[in-house]
């Protein structure tokens, strides 16, 4: 560990400058205007992999954005680790809320500030710098890389890449750093992720926008109908009201719930973190439990009518909302999407039509604590952070983790170094400098320890 710490500290400034260069590329995969930027980011990653010591790194074109594949194979008798990450980022809107421009990253208050700093460029780059160290110290295992550019826009090309490049992606363990630790830099390893089922609901009324003075009171208002549908999605106990949603939800035992209670994420923490006067949770569960081991439903956006300056007395012809459900183990995205679609259609009142479009989804994942990859990650993080990490379930979704298990038979180590306070997907995203550097150390130690754990 001392040699690793010295190497990272001696190269601290260079590691930071390289990450800042990476963050300056506006690789927003959801925006066609940034298509060239996304490819530029892919080429940046490919070049850095080769410079760090990977023998073979290449871009694989897809109908969407390119995937970067790389490998360093030294001995077939040693375990192989497949490192996954994504080099694309979320859109930066609303731009006016950023303290500094999102793609002009800065170092401030002990953090790297800029879009993609934590999600996922900074955490991806941790592993590139780790193999740079191993190039000189000796590679303890075989390495493969799968770095995509569509994670923030649904990973639509990824299943075909997994199916078409099985030999290039064959491994024993997958390693992903796209999650967070606990508050106060308490190390944690994510052992579960919620899945996702998302739909867009469109309520249509008249054939055109109408004058509310002439037609108001006689014609159904799609905005009113949509608001009523949304209001009915939860009952008075803050449970999802859609029939069948909870049929396959597994109960979590008292031991794991007690462990979660010791993580320090109580109601007061949530209130302080996001600036709300109170939490709103499913009855019988803590806020932390409601965001990890329970399904949740949220309206992510709503549109209809006129919302500009002054007043336009219009009765809108159409209103729409995007709705997502976070899923827990044993739930399936297709089933839940169907349940939600049926519920919305059946509740459509006279005078309107309701269309439901299914958007992308992903499946929930759970990793057992006796998994060798987890044990190696636990030892590595203990050495680097000086205290044993807690196993936690994450509230977000990383669809590739389920895909890797389904298509390639791989279990994944989710060894993240961000914080829930990093403002990912929001203005003023950041990544702690210390966590970035300690992430490099932890990645090195994980790769060194894995062969001994699997022996």
Best CA proximity match to 333, nearest among 344, 343, 341, 325: 325
3-state secondary structure of 230: helix
**CB contact at 8 A, 165 and 407:** no
**CB contact at 8 A, 121 and 111:** no
Give the span between the Cα atoms of 132 and 112, in whole angstroms. Answer: 21
Point out the residues that are catalytic.
88, 151
Cβ neighbour number for residue 83 with a 10 Å cutoff: 25
3-state secondary structure of 381: helix
Query: How does strand 195-204 pair with strand 365-366?
Result: unpaired
Cβ neighbour number for residue 140 with a 10 Å cutoff: 20
Give the span between the Cα atoms of 395 and 188, in whole angstroms. Answer: 14
Instruction: Kindly list the distances between the CA atom of residue 403 and the CA atoms of 113, 177, 365, 399, in Å, as whole numbers in the listed order.
Output: 31, 16, 10, 6
Cβ neighbour number for residue 23 with a 10 Å cutoff: 27
Residues in the chain: 455
DSSP E strand boundaries for 278-374 = 296-304, 314-315, 318-327, 353-358, 365-366
Q: How many helices (H) and strands (E) does the chain have?
A: 15, 18
Residues 6+ apart with CB under 8 A from 263: 182, 186, 188, 288, 390, 392
Residues 6+ apart with CB under 8 A from 61: none
Cβ neighbour number for residue 262 with a 10 Å cutoff: 8
């Amino acid at each position: 560990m001392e040699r690793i710490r010295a190497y990272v500290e001696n190269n601290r400034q260079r590691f930071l400058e390289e990450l800042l260069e990476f963050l300056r590329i506006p690789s927003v995969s959801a925006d066609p205007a940034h298509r060239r930027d996304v490819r530029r980011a892919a080429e940046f990653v490919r070049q850095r992999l080769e410079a760090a010591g990977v023998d073979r790194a290449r871009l694989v074109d897809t109908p969407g954005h390119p995937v970067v594949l790389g490998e360093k194979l030294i001995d077939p008798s040693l375990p192989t680790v497949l490192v996954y990450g994504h080099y694309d980022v979320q859109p930066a809107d609303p731009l006016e809320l950023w303290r500094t421009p999102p793609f002009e990253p800065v170092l401030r208050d002990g953090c790297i500030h800029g879009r993609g700093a934590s999600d996922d460029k900074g955490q991806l780059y941790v592993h590139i710098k780790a193999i740079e160290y191993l190039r000189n110290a000796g590679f303890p295992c075989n390495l493969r890389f799968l770095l995509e550019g569509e994670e923030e826009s649904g990973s639509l090309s990824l299943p075909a890449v997994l199916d078409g490049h099985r030999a290039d992606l064959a491994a024993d363990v997958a390693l992903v750093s796209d999650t967070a630790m606990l508050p106060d830099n308490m190390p944690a390893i994510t052992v579960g992720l919620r899945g996702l089922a998302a739909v867009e609901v469109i309520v249509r009324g008249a054939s055109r926008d109408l004058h509310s003075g002439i037609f108001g009171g006689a014609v159904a208002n799609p905005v009113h109908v949509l608001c009523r549908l949304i209001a009915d999605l939860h009952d008075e106990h803050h449970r999802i009201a859609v029939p069948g949603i909870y049929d396959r939800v597994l109960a979590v035992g008292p031991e794991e719930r007690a462990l979660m209670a010791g993580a320090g994420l109580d109601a007061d923490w949530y209130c302080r973190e996001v600036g709300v006067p109170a939490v709103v949770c499913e009855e019988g569960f803590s806020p932390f439990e409601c965001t990890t081991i329970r399904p949740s439903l949220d309206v992510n956006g709503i549109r209809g009518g006129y919302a500009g300056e002054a007043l336009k007395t219009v009765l809108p012809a159409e209103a729409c909302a995007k709705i997502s459900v976070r899923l827990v183990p044993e739930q399936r995205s297709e089933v839940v999407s169907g349940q939600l679609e049926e519920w919305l259609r059946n509740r459509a009142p006279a005078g309107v039509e309701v269309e439901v479009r299914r958007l992308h989804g992903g499946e929930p994942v759970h990793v057992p604590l006796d998994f060798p990859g987890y044990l190696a990650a636990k030892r590595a993080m203990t050495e680097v952070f000086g205290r044993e990490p807690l196993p936690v379930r994450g509230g977000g979704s990383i669809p590739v983790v389920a895909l890797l298990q389904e298509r390639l038979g791989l279990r994944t180590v989710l060894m993240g170094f961000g914080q829930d306070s990093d403002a990912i997907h929001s203005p003023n995203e950041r990544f702690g400098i210390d966590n970035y550097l300690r992430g490099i150390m932890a990645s090195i130690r994980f790769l060194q320890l894995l062969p001994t754990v699997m022996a």
